[in-house]
Amino acid sequence: MICSGINEQNPGRAGYTTMVRRYAGRWKDRFWEIDFLRGLCVVLMVFDHFMYCLWDVMPVINGVLGTSLFDGLRPFALEYWNWDLRNNVREVVILLFFLLCGISCTLTRGNFRRFIPLALVAAGLSAVTSVMSELTGSNMTIFFGVIHMIAAGVLLYAVIDNAAQAVGGALPQRCGRARFALRLLPGLVGVGLLAAYLALWGDWYAASPWHFVSTYTPPEGLSDGQKIFQSVFIELRGFRIERFYGGDYFPVLPYAAFILIGGLVGMFAYHTRARWAFSRLNGAWNSGLCFFGRHAAVIYIAHMVVIPAVLAILAAASLLFS
């Protein structure tokens, strides 16, 4: 049973602490549905990147090596990439992934510690992709991608949540509901930020109800550096510095708002009796996707290197049979 050892009928403060500690510890005590959904998101992301590599990266590899491996699959991969269903599913998967990240923020007391490795990995991605861009002459530098945005979202959640807990800790012991309400603050801030974004700077994309498009235009006279700094927090319409738009791009608004909103979901779903809702459905059937979910960060980072590397090795090996 998930988080065995917790008093289901009256978990209390000690029960919630035990739940958090167990979730952050051994994998068998984790909430399987979170790992399952996260694993599904990661698998779909890996497949999406594989199809991208077939139509965009593979021609570069073939051009360098003088091969023609998977040339016949390029039109199919390109058609998939522009498929309306793919575009809608992609946006749903991305937003679900961010919501799950926010839910996980409610299940640990170490969000500041989570931020540090995320920030280091994000800096490493920017450095490596910048070097690769220089060596290949391509436009693949990641200035503020998924990992950067998640790091920023986790840090923002940690700051707001720790402030809320500090206030709650000063309340009398009998004010349990008030302390719980304070823990909802990060999610409420997320709702407010998303509402402000939609009201002031963004809108839903007409072709996809899940996709956002910026309506914010930067003021005149800003340098490229100032525009890049602004675009970390909100997507800038009409901003097209070639080196900036190289890799994936996920500004704090609107995407980090979904991490904060995920905290709201997490507080109601996993800090109340509702956390047991899916426990009886757990079993061997979900072990594969749950494995991917438990190692989502490693798989996400590794697949960006492994897929092009494997394709390059296969293309090189095809020379032996040509």
Residue 213 β-bridge partners: 203
Whether residue 5 is contained in a domain is answered as no
E strand or H helix that includes residue 241? none
Whether residue 18 is contained in a domain is answered as no
Average pLDDT score over residue span 289-303: 90
Q: Which residues of 272-302 are buried (b: 16+ CB within 10 A; e: fewer)?
A: eeebeeeeeebeeebeebbebbbbbbebbee
Q: What's the pLDDT score for residue 131?
A: 81
Structural domain containing residue 118: 27-321
> CB atoms < 10 A from the CB of 115, how many?
20
Query: What's the pLDDT tens digit per position in 64-104?
Result: 888 889 989 999 999 999 888 898 888 899 999 999 999 99
Q: Which residues of 130-146 are buried (b: 16+ CB within 10 A; e: fewer)?
A: bebbeeeeeebbbbbbb
Q: What's the pLDDT score for residue 24?
A: 45
Whether residue 229 is contained in a domain is answered as yes
Whether residue 293 is contained in a domain is answered as yes
Q: What's the pLDDT score for residue 175?
A: 79
Whether residue 19 is contained in a domain is answered as no
3 state DSSP class of 212: strand
Domain count of the fold of the chain: 1
Q: In degrees to the nearest 10, what's the CA dihedral of 60, 62, 66, 70?
A: -160
The sign of the torsion formed by the CA atoms of 280, 40, 118, 222 equals negative
Query: What's the pLDDT tens digit per position in 7-31?
Result: 333 344 444 444 444 444 444 568 9
Rounded Cα gap, residues 93 and 250, in angstroms: 14
Whether residue 119 is contained in a domain is answered as yes
Whether residue 260 is contained in a domain is answered as yes
Whether residue 3 is contained in a domain is answered as no
Confidence bin at 220 (pLDDT 50/70/90): confident
Query: What's the pLDDT tens digit per position in 169-215?
Result: 887 877 778 888 899 999 999 999 999 988 888 777 766 667 777 88
